[in-house]
Amino acid sequence: MLTEYTTPGAPVVNDDESLYALLTERIRRSGEDTVIAASRTKEGTWRDVTTGEFHTAVLSASKGLMALGIARGDAVTIFSSTRYEWGVLDLALAAVGAVSVPIYDTDSAAQAERIINDAQVKLVFVDDRERYNRVAGIADHCPSLTRTLMFDANALGVLEGLGVAVSDGDLTERIGAGRADDLATIVYTSGSTGAPKGVELTHRNFLSVVRAGFYCLPEMICDDHPRLLLFLPLAHCFARYIQYCSIGTDDGVVGYLPDTSNLLPDIRRFRPTYLLGVPRVFEKVYNAASHRAGTGAKGRLFAKAVEASRAWSRMMEEGVRPNLKQQAEHIAYDASVYRAVRSALGPNIRYIACGGAPLSDDLAHFFSGIGLRMIQGYGLTETAAPFTVTRAAETTIGTVGQPAPGGSVRIAPDSEIQLKGPNVFVGYHNRPEDTKEAFTDDGWFATGDLGALDDEGRLRITGRKKDIIITAGGKNVSPIPAEQAIAACPIVEHAVVVGDGRPFVGALVTLDDEALAQWLPTQRLAADLSSDEAAALPEVHEFIQRFVDKANASVSRAESVRKFVVLPGHLTQRNGCLTPSLKVVRPRVTKVFANEIDQKLYGGKR
């Protein structure tokens, strides 16, 4: 088995380029008349924006930033949901050499204050009055902050008005001074295993991984009029990366969706060709289809179609030619089941890209088997998002693919994944000791994740060093496989496996309110039961136990989940148990639910 793999080649990034070059290169190739973006109106319709209009907005915002005294290297924050203005301002900051410091729209005032002060932010952009008030409440404690502008109050218009005082020549000179190795952004990690740290990324870091994406996934990103609906927070590197990819293609269109309350109708109206999501998004799509099918004849048909789709995907992956019966079944299931599931994601959908957390193999095989290419990747904020990715032509479910061109991955003796490449970050802001600790003596970035390489250099994620559970009996257990299996239960929202220093492995489970309301009537129970009320029902426990049994079927008794507890409430960002990118914060979960762990799981015994 391989322990190190390098993908040959490397994307070219010139020393005098910035991220703004993605836009100007596109204009040189395809002109200013192509549609580059779409903004959702309050009425729910989509307004197309041409490349020329987008470029004009970027230049106007750039002049406005200069008029406000933003110099090269100054830190500017965007504290907003995903929206059109975010994309414009992001490239304007790149053009004038400012450092973008995004804040998740869900972050509290205290979190925003810490980031603003750590990065010495001079100017903040917010989207609405609520976030404006959050910043206003901390402004007196942020000595570097000079002004806050609001998108809902026409912030881009304000910049345009201020920018008339700046000449075209001055702007051209400022843009020309940009360098690829200049700091482009400081992105504060969401802190799933500790306090967030500011990750410093250069223009070269992002440009190299974006251009590598054009080589790795041209079918998804570049070919046949690609349309991307972006609803993940742009404060996250994964969403920002794919935004840059869309802008940098000849005719890619990115739609900015600030509100996901009507996600599926908005998806159908926008008609994307590919979608970017975290596992929970695709779990909800699957669960919704399962609930619509019900438990009668339609439910039995759906269950058979699901198993057939997974079998079909595995045959395609292994290069096995389906027999005539299997082909006929596939055509029949496509007409009766698969087409309806695909249509929930719009009539043009071809690819779905999943990142941010591991996706179960069963779910990936399902989507692949119904005709949607499931692209999976692996990366971190420290690598400007994806470092490895499955290729569209040779997707191997269960792996996250090979490195992008110019990237190297190696597996340390303790199974830690270590990376080297042009998109690996500069360091942690104001944290030289943390930066030193993040790299090995020979210069590899030590991710803290665990994995293995197959004979083709494809990476498989097996866990995280800090997540490894060591039971009282000394057994090392990675929680991810069991959590994925239990979370496959349609009514389960999150599953967290625990057991460090305990006599056996247990699990904490929370319920999905929306799925629960659809499932309860199928059991002749009241649909309006709260998740707390449902948590005590034997029917709920019996249903979840089926998936716990599946999780246990492939592991030793020492690794099996002996007991689970359905928690009151949910894991949320508010109680600190979820990051803004929806990763589980394990140390916080064990603290918040310490009583449930001690008393309900282990009966007060250690």
Q: What is the DSSP string of 12-28?
A: ---TT--TTHHHHHHHH
CA dist., res. 553 & res. 550, Å (int): 5
CA dist., res. 101 & res. 432, Å (int): 19
Q: What is the pTM of this model?
A: 0.85
Q: Are 374 and 397 in contact (CB under 8 A)?
A: yes
User: End-to-end alpha-carbon separation of the chain, Å?
Assistant: 39
CA dist., res. 325 & res. 189, Å (int): 50
| Res 558 pLDDT > 80 | no
pLDDT band at 374, cuts 50/70/90?
confident
| Residue 191 confidence (pLDDT) | 58
Instruction: Please tell me which residue, 528 or 272, carries the higher pLDDT value.
Output: 272
Looking at every residue in the chain, the average pLDDT score rounds to: 91
Q: Which of 114-123, 193-202, 268-277, 376-385 has the largest mean confidence?
A: 114-123
Of 515, 489, 511, 486, residue with least CA distance to 498: 486
Instruction: Please tell me which residue, 593 or 605, carries the higher pLDDT value.
Output: 593
Instruction: Please tell me which residue, 299 or 328, carries the higher pLDDT value.
Output: 328
| Residue 189 confidence (pLDDT) | 86
Q: What is the pLDDT of residues 49-88, one digit of tens each?
A: 999 999 999 999 999 999 999 999 999 999 999 999 999 9
Cα distances (angstroms) measured from residue 346 to each of 6, 35, 406, 431, 604: 37, 19, 35, 45, 51
pLDDT band at 559, cuts 50/70/90?
confident
pLDDT band at 178, cuts 50/70/90?
very high
Query: What fold is seen in the domain 468-601?
Result: GMP Synthetase; Chain A, domain 3 (3.30.300)
pLDDT band at 586, cuts 50/70/90?
confident
pLDDT band at 514, cuts 50/70/90?
confident
Helix axis angle, 203-216 to 21-30, nearest 10° = 40
Q: How many CA atoms lie within 13 A of 13 on its CB side?
A: 27
CA dist., res. 417 & res. 398, Å (int): 16
Q: Are 511 and 547 in contact (CB under 8 A)?
A: no
Average pLDDT of the segment spanning 583-598: 88
Q: What is the pLDDT of residues 468-480, one digit of tens each?
A: 888 877 777 888 8
pLDDT band at 312, cuts 50/70/90?
very high
Cα 354 to its chain centre, rounded Å, is: 7
Question: Looking up tokens 């002109």, which residue turns up?
Answer: 31
Q: What is the pLDDT of residues 419-462, one digit of tens each?
A: 999 999 999 999 999 999 999 999 999 999 999 999 999 999 98
Residue 78 host element (H or E): strand 75-79
| Res 190 pLDDT > 70 | no
CA dist., res. 23 & res. 254, Å (int): 13
| Res 580 pLDDT > 80 | no
Question: Looking up tokens 């930066």, which residue turns up?
Answer: 435
Query: What fold is seen in the domain 19-178+225-272?
Result: Rossmann fold (3.40.50)
Q: Could you give the residue range(s) of every CATH 3.30.300.30 domain in the chain?
A: 468-601
| Res 351 pLDDT > 90 | yes
Q: Could you give the residue range(s) of every CATH 3.40.50.12780 domain in the chain?
A: 19-178+225-272, 279-465
pLDDT band at 336, cuts 50/70/90?
very high
| Residue 194 confidence (pLDDT) | 57
| Res 42 pLDDT > 80 | no
Q: Which CATH class is domain 279-465?
A: alpha beta
Cα–Cα–Cα angle for 602, 603, 606, nearest 5°? Answer: 55
The full DSSP string for 377-438 is EEEEGGGTEEEEE--GGG--TT---EEPTT-EEEE-TT-EEEEESTTS--EETT-HHHHHHH
pLDDT band at 606, cuts 50/70/90?
low
